[in-house]
Amino acid sequence: MKCLTYLLLCLLLAGAVIGQEMANSSPEKATTEPTDDVTVAKTKIPAGSKLYVAPMEGGFENFVIAGIQKKKVPVVVVVDRNKADFELTGIAESEKAGWAKMLFMGSQQSKEQASIKVANIKTGAVVFGYSVHKGNSYKGKQSAGEACAKHLKQAIE
Amino acid sequence: MTSFKTVAVCIAILALCLTSVAADTPAKSIPENAKVYISPMPDGFDTFLKAAIEKKKVPLEIVEDREKAEYLITGTSETQKSGVAKKLVFLDWRSREEASITVFETKSGEVVFSYSVHKSSSNHGKQSTAEACAKHLKKSVK
C-alpha cells in the first residue's frame, strides 16, 4: 500500500515538473506577454529631463504621454523638440479582433504591439529601448502606452 | 502583541514612503478660465470634445484662434463599429472607442495634462469618450 502511494506521488511530481517545463518553453506564452526592456546604453535618464515625444502612427504619442502622466514618470514632456534633452520615437500597430477570434476564442480584444526608443538629442545616443506585444490587449493602445511608460520610469534615475 | 506593533510600524513607514514619492512628482494644473484652442482631430473628435467641455462645465474658455490661446489641446480618436461577429456572438451593437488627448502650454511648450480612454462597448460612441476626457480635464483645472 505504501509503495503504491509513493509511486503515485512520484508520478504526480514528475507530471508537475514536465508540465512546468512545457509551459516555460511554450512559444505562445512568450509572445503574449510583454517582452523585456532592452537598455541600449548604460547611461540613465536624469529625473526632471525634458522629453519630446515625436509623432507616431495612429496618434500613439498621445497614449504614451497619457501613460507617462498616469505612471507619474518624473520627466517634463515638451512639444518643442528644440527645448528637449531627450527624444522619444517609436512605432505602434493595432490589429482588431476578427470574427474567428470572437467566435472561437470568445475574445473581442485587440492585438497591440509597440516599440519605443529614447535618444539623447545632443549626443544622439540611444539611452532606452522597449517593445511590447499584447495578444489580447484589455484597453487597446492605452495598455501599450502605459506599458511603455512603466518601463521608461525604471530607466530614470 | 509585539508582532502587531511591528506590523503597525512597518505600515506607517510604508505609508510615509508612498506619500513622499507622490509629493515628488510634479503636478501642474490649468488655471480657471484659461483660453484653450482645440486642434482638429481625426473623425471630428474635436467637435465632440468641445461639446463635452460645455456639458461637463469645464471652466475653460474655448477660442477659435490658435494665436490667442494659452493652452492647446491635441489628440487622437479611433472608432470601430460593431461587426457581424460581435453582434452575433456577443449580442453587442455598441462600438469600440479609444481616444487620447494632450494639453500643453503654448508659451513653455510643456505638457500639463494628458489622458487616454478606451471603451470596448461605448454606449454613446465618441460622445462617451469625449465626455470622459472632459470629466478628467475638469479635475486638472484649478
Rounded to two decimals, the ipTM of the complex is 0.73
- Chain A interface test: which of B100, B105, B108 (most A C-beta within 10 Å): B100
In a domain, residue B6? The reply is no
In a domain, residue B82? The reply is yes
The tens digit of pLDDT for each residue in A77-98 reads: 999 999 999 999 999 998 988 8
Helix (H) or strand (E) holding B117: strand B111-122
- Chain A residues within 8 A of B75 when measuring between CB atoms: 59, 62
Across the interface, do A72 and B118 touch by the CB < 8 Å criterion?
A: no
Considering CB atoms only, which of B75, B111, B118 is closest to A142? B118
What per-residue confidence (pLDDT) applies to B90?
86
Neighbours of B80 (CB within 10 A): 18
Task: Tell me what the mean pLDDT of segment A50-60 comes to.
Answer: 93
In a domain, residue B22? The reply is no
Indicate the pLDDT class of residue A17, thresholds 50, 70 and 90. Answer: very low
| Residue B129 per-residue DSSP state | H
**In Å, how far from its chain's centre is CA A45?**
19
In a domain, residue B55? The reply is yes
Assess whether pLDDT exceeds 50 at residue A14: no
CA–CA distance from B6 to each of A1, B18, B20 (Å)?
48, 18, 21
The tens digit of pLDDT for each residue in B89-121 reads: 888 899 999 999 999 999 999 999 999 999 988
Indicate the pLDDT class of residue A22, thresholds 50, 70 and 90. Answer: very low
| Residue A57 per-residue DSSP state | G
Q: How many structural domains are present in chain B?
A: 1
In this structure, chain B runs to a length of 142
Measured distance CA(A109)–CA(A104) in Å, rounded: 13
Considering CB atoms only, which of A62, A72, A142 is closest to B102? A62
Show which of residues 32-71 on chain A sit within 8 Å of chain B, judged by CB atoms: 48, 58-59, 62-63, 65-69
Measured distance CA(B136)–CA(A72) in Å, rounded: 16
User: Using an 8 Å Cβ cutoff, are B111 and B102 in contact?
Assistant: yes
* Residue ranges in A26-139 assigned as alpha helix (H): 27-32, 60-70, 99-100
Assess whether pLDDT exceeds 80 at residue A141: yes
In a domain, residue B18? The reply is no
Across the interface, do B116 and A68 touch by the CB < 8 Å criterion?
A: no
In a domain, residue B119? The reply is yes
Q: Is the CB of B79 inside 8 Å of chain A's CB atoms?
A: no
The tens digit of pLDDT for each residue in B1-54 reads: 455 566 555 554 544 444 343 334 445 789 999 999 999 998 899 999 999 999
In a domain, residue B4? The reply is no
- Give me the domain span that covers residue B96: 27-139
In a domain, residue B93? The reply is yes
The CATH code of the domain that includes B87 is 3.30.160.670
